[in-house]
Amino acid sequence: MAEIIVAERAGACYGVGRALNLTLEQADKAAGPVHTLGPLIHNPLVVEDLDARGVRVADCPADAGDGLLIIRAHGTTPEVIADAEARGLTVLDATCPYVKKVHVAAKKLVDAGYDVLVVGEAGHPEVEGILGHAGCARVVGSVADVRALISAGALGKKVGVVVQTTQTLALLQGVVDELLAAAQEVRVVNTICAATQERQQAAAELAAQVDAMVVIGGKNSGNTRRLFEICSEHCGRTHHIESADELDAAWFAGTGKIGITAGASTPQAHIDAVVKRLHALA
């Protein structure tokens, strides 16, 4: 029988787990309709499960109609919340507290007169929320973006920087290096969340020690696909699944050790189900 090892920090991060728990609580007790603003997490099985419990997805407050509207861990803009409230919806704000810290930091920098840059992915809901709370800020997704602003003379003497929580330290450092050469004052608030990096590191370490690796999470989840790539670099027998039903005994023939990790949008119950089925198969 193969040894089965679950990576440290596999599965839902604090912010996603918190938003999911708050939503499940409301699914059980709310009297009227319950909607999440956009899919709560990038995991079709979880979204289907929520739908079965009466929690629907609304693309905007107008889609929700009435009842309760839950803001997911990414957060949103103050305008969207005001729109929802003006429509008579009750808003439950499940924005991750670490994302809220970025909102506060960006607003403080704007109020203190800094020309604020958000290092992140333009159009991503978390970044849109940060821009909305800052009131006046710009997004840079690469060092080239900063160079373009500098060469266009579009930056003031005092530049403030915050970061989308899932960005890399390398990108932040690249952006700051460019700014230091151009601005008189650069104030950086490092708002990167450690959860993503820690999960990737633990997965890589485990993948290097096992004969086969299973990565659990939505096929539409960017952070799960990245985990699959990282594990594949260290273990040739790496498989990406959404649920325990997809496991195939042939994948594990002759293995002594099997590793498991899971993306940030994978609930603990899915990990437990995979462990249980693997014990039966391998």
Residue closer to ligand SF4 (CB basis): 15 or 160: 15
Residue closer to ligand SF4 (CB basis): 95 or 238: 95
Q: What spatial distance separates the first Cα and last Cα of the chain, rounded to whole Å? A: 6
- Residue 215's beta-bridge partner residues? 240, 261
CA–CA separation, 215 and 213 (whole Å):
7
15 makes contact with ligand SF4 (CB under 6 A): yes
CA–CA separation, 232 and 187 (whole Å):
38
Catalytic-labelled residue, pool 79, 126, 198, 233 = 126
State yes or no: is 229 an active-site residue: no
Residue closer to ligand SF4 (CB basis): 202 or 258: 202
Residues 128-167 contacting ligand SF4, CB under 6 A: 165-166
Integer-rounded Cα radius of gyration of the chain: 21
Burial class (CB in 10 A: 0-12, 13-18, 19+), 16: buried
234 C-beta neighbours (distance < 10 Å), count: 17
227 makes contact with ligand SF4 (CB under 6 A): no
For the chain, helix (H) and strand (E) counts, in that order, are 11, 12
Residues 254-273 contacting ligand SF4, CB under 6 A: 264
Site map (CB under 6 A) of ligand SF4, residues 161-180, x = contact: ----xx--------------
Question: How far is the CA of 263 from the CAs of 7, 37, 197, in angstroms?
Answer: 11, 21, 12
Site map (CB under 6 A) of ligand SF4, residues 25-54, x = contact: ------------------------------
Minimum CB–partner distance for residue 162 and ligand SF4 (Å): 13
16 makes contact with ligand SF4 (CB under 6 A): yes
Residue closer to ligand SF4 (CB basis): 103 or 237: 103
73 makes contact with ligand SF4 (CB under 6 A): yes
- Residue 260's beta-bridge partner residues? 6, 214
Question: Which single residue is written with the structure tokens 């530049």?
Answer: 159
100 makes contact with ligand SF4 (CB under 6 A): no
Phi, psi at residue 274, to the nearest 5°?
-70, -40
Name the site residues for ligand SF4 (rule: CB under 6 A).
Answer: 13-16, 73, 96, 98-99, 165-166, 193, 195-196, 264
Q: Which residues are catalytic?
A: 126
